[in-house]
Structure formats: structure tokens, C-alpha cells
Amino acid sequence: MNMDDPKFISFMADICKEYEIDAIMPALDDAQLLLKAAEQKIGIKVLTSCLETTTICRRKSQTYIKLRSVIRVPTIYDAVDAKAHLPLFAKPDDGEGSKGCRKISTEEELATAVRDNCLLCELLVGDEFTVDCFSNAEGKLLFCGPRRRSLTRAGLSVITETTTSPEVMLAASSMALQINGSMSFLGAWFFQCKFSSGGELALLEVAPRISGAMGAFRHLGVNFPLLTMYVHYGRKVEIVKSSWTGTMAKIYANHVMTSFTFDSIYVDLDDTLLIRGQVNTEVLGMLYECKNRGKDVHLITRHDKDVFKTLGEFALSEALFKSIIHLKDRKILKSSYFPRDKQIVFMDDSYAERQDCQPNVYACDVDAVSFVIGALRNQALPCPILGQVQGSSRVRE
């Protein structure tokens, strides 16, 4: 149901009651404000800061008015004055990410931005940072962690790098303390900022929620969602700051939905399960997923050494496979071992071996791991109970 639907709040209340949901942590700005305003009607905790703070943060103009006396905020121009200060930066007052944001260089572009009711801001040209913060129930700022937005796409920080630069840390922590002292935060929140041409750190926006790349600090020991839940339920928390830095790239994997199903999988060893003298952990993980879902896993290989010794050298258990088929005669086709009455997956790097298969065989290379896993998960089969998996057999040729 869309959030604009008049029945949305009652719908959420019914869902929370039916599934015994005690708390919601909104990740979308509009949802955060809507749910916080209706917290009592829904009957659950909305894990964000108070309604006043959430309301102010939803509009950049209100945020700038609230904070302009204590920190550096962008200079805002009206339509008349803006012409004399081109180039500028235009952005929606209540937008998120980079929706509707653009650089304004000409009077024609300025006119369009004015018609769109955009804020007309000074153009900040320095490095951009997100500063992840955490405040406890007493309003004390327990954590302030700046990270450089090294690469952004559609307003999202795709590559982000934590930093311990003294200059950045001093400017960011000073701004964080001033923001925290001017508004009421509870749990995780963040602000975005950018250096001006004069070297001053200027505010872009503030949001009292989990940021998209807060996970960068999760790898350094700070679990913002869990800590936020703790403080909302009255638990005392402490945050141990790490001096390490890290870079996180949010590279999204393929998640496949398919009607394809299968009964068993046959996988090659060389250049498939093993690649360049190492275990292909993606393929290995897929095989364990197959086993968890009750599929028979078979190893079929033309390996030129002792297969069992090689498996031992790479710490691969023979018990993973229902059968290990070692073909030493090049004239014998791998496909001759495949059952004709079942749908199977055959993963092998050899194009010739894959071409030889019958229609009941899904023949693929290692790039199909996400497809196979998608087929497994879409079947939603329960994992087999330990001890009920059939024993393994060994076939030598």
C-alpha cells in the first residue's frame, strides 16, 4: 500500500498487531516522518528522534534556519539575487539523494529551477563527507565518524572511505557537537557536508535515521541499528572508537527469481571448483546451499591427479558429494553419467562438455552461481534434518 493512501496508518497498525511487531526503524525520510507522527495510533515504537527534530530535518530550509546561527550553512539566494551569483546549485527543499539536484550555470537553467521551487544555494566545490553520529538518551554525542563520499550514483554513496584526517575530524566533530546541541537526537543520525572554496565545512543536510552506508562503521565495530534499538528501550550503551580506517564499496549482487527447478547438480573440479590454485568460494558456497536444500551434489572431473588427494590438499570434504566421478578415458562423455529422468544442473568451464548435454540438463559456467542459488531459494524448500542426508558413494572410471 502506498504511503499516500488514507488507510496507510490503519493498515500499518493492523500489520504490526497481526505479526506482533514492537518497533519499526524507517529507512526512508518520508516514511520516517509519517510513522513518527502516527506512532501512538500505530501502537509501536518508531526508532528515530523526536517528531520536532524529524520534522525540521525533512526540509533543508528549516534545517538551515535552525542551525545557521551555530554552524556554516550554504548561502541561499532568491530568484532575483541568484542571477548575480551563477553558477549555483539547485535542490528540492524536501528531496533526498540527488533527485532534482543540479548545477545551475545559465539564466535559462535558473528559470527552470525557480519554476521547480528549488532552493538556490551557493555552489560548494570541495570534498563531500557524510558524518555518522550517535546520541544517547541524555543527549550526549557518543560517536562522530566522518567518511568521504568517494563515488556517488543517484545521490547514494557507492564508494565511501572512513577517515582519521585531523583537519576533517576537527571540523566534522565541531559541527556534530553544534548540531547535537541545537536539536534533540536519540540513536543514530547523520549529516552531510562539503568544503567550500574557502576551506570551510558547510552543512548540506541532516537526517535522524540510519544512513545508506553506515555499514562502513559496522565493519569497525559500531552496530548503529542495534545501538539505536538499545537506547530506545532504555539500555545504557557505550561505543568503543577504533583508530582504523576502511573503504566500503556498495557493489550489488544479482538476485535471480526463476521458475527453474532441479534435483541434483554435477560440478567440475579444475577451473570450476578450483581456480588458479585456490578454492572458488562462490561455487563452494553454492554447493553447500544445494546440500542444505536437499539436492544431490556430484563431482565429475577429468582431473589428471589423484582426486581425493587434491580434495584433501584444499581442505574439501569428500562428504560434500554424493558421488565423485573421475573420468580418465577422454572418449567417455560426462553427459553419459547424467540421469535422463531428472532435471539437473551441470557446471563446467568446458564449452564442449556443456554443448553435449541433453535438454533436461541446465549446462552452465561459474557465472551462473546466482541463477542456481535463485532457483534454490525460489523453491523455498526446507533444509534437510541433520542425519537424514543419504550416504555418499564413490565411482571411479
Which pLDDT tens digit goes with each residue over 227-266?
A: 999 999 999 999 987 778 888 888 777 788 888 999 999 9
374, 258 Cβ separation under 8 angstroms? yes
Size of the chain, expressed as the number of residues it contains? 397
Query: Is residue 335's pLDDT more than 50?
Result: yes
Domains annotated for the chain, with CATH where assigned, are 8-46 (no CATH), 57-61+124-249 (3.30.470.20), 75-122 (no CATH), 264-396 (3.40.50.1000)
pLDDT, greater one: 219 or 77: 77
Q: How far apart are CA 108 and CA 101, in angstroms?
A: 16
In this structure, what are the phi and psi dihedrals at residue 181, rounded to the nearest 5 degrees?
-80, -15
The rounded mean pLDDT for the chain is 91
Q: How far apart are CA 106 and CA 122, in angstroms?
A: 14
Per residue in 16-26, pLDDT (tens digit) is 999 999 999 99
Query: Is residue 338's pLDDT more than 90?
Result: yes
Per-state percent for the chain, helix, strand, coil, to nearest 5: 35, 25, 45
- Taking residues 306-311, report their average pLDDT: 97
86, 105 Cβ separation under 8 angstroms? yes
For residue 384, what pLDDT is reported? Answer: 37
pLDDT, greater one: 220 or 298: 298
pLDDT over 90, % of the chain:
79
196, 75 Cβ separation under 8 angstroms? no
Q: Which letter does DSSP use for residue 392 in this model?
A: P
Query: Is residue 395's pLDDT more than 80?
Result: no
Q: How far apart are CA 301 and CA 319, in angstroms?
A: 16
129, 90 Cβ separation under 8 angstroms? no
- Please name every residue paired with 265 in a beta bridge, in sequence order, or none if there are none: 297, 345
DSSP line for 120-177: EEE---S-EEEEEEEE-TT--EEEEEEEEEEEEETTEEEEEEE---HHHHHHHHHHHH
Q: How far apart are CA 308 and CA 320, in angstroms?
A: 12
For residue 151, what pLDDT is reported? Answer: 82
For residue 297, what pLDDT is reported? Answer: 98
Residue 393: pLDDT band with limits 50, 70, 90: very low
Residue 303, amino acid: H
| pLDDT-wise least confident of 123-132, 139-148, 150-159, 213-222 | 150-159
Q: What is the pTM of this model?
A: 0.77
Query: Is residue 96's pLDDT more than 80?
Result: no
Per residue in 373-392, pLDDT (tens digit) is 999 987 644 433 333 233 33
In this structure, which long-range contacts are made by residues 77-81, counting pairs with CB atoms below 8 Å and at least 24 apart in sequence?
Answer: 77/120, 77/121, 77/122, 78/120, 79/110, 79/114, 79/120
Q: Could you check whether the bond before residue 87 is cis, i.e. omega within 30 degrees of 0?
A: yes
Query: Is residue 100's pLDDT more than 80?
Result: no
280, 355 Cβ separation under 8 angstroms? no
Q: What is the CA radius of gyration of the chain?
A: 28
Per residue in 265-304, pLDDT (tens digit) is 999 999 999 999 999 999 999 999 999 999 999 999 999 9
Cell 549446462 identifies what position? 363
Residue 98: pLDDT band with limits 50, 70, 90: low
Per residue in 45-88, pLDDT (tens digit) is 999 999 999 999 999 999 999 999 999 999 999 999 999 999 99
Per residue in 150-202, pLDDT (tens digit) is 887 766 778 899 998 999 999 999 999 999 999 999 999 999 999 998 899 99
**Residue 46: is it exposed, middle or buried by C-beta count within 10 angstroms (0-12/13-18/19+)?**
buried
Query: Is residue 144's pLDDT more than 90?
Result: yes
Q: How far apart are CA 86 and CA 79, in angstroms?
A: 11
Q: How far apart are CA 136 and CA 198, in angstroms?
A: 34
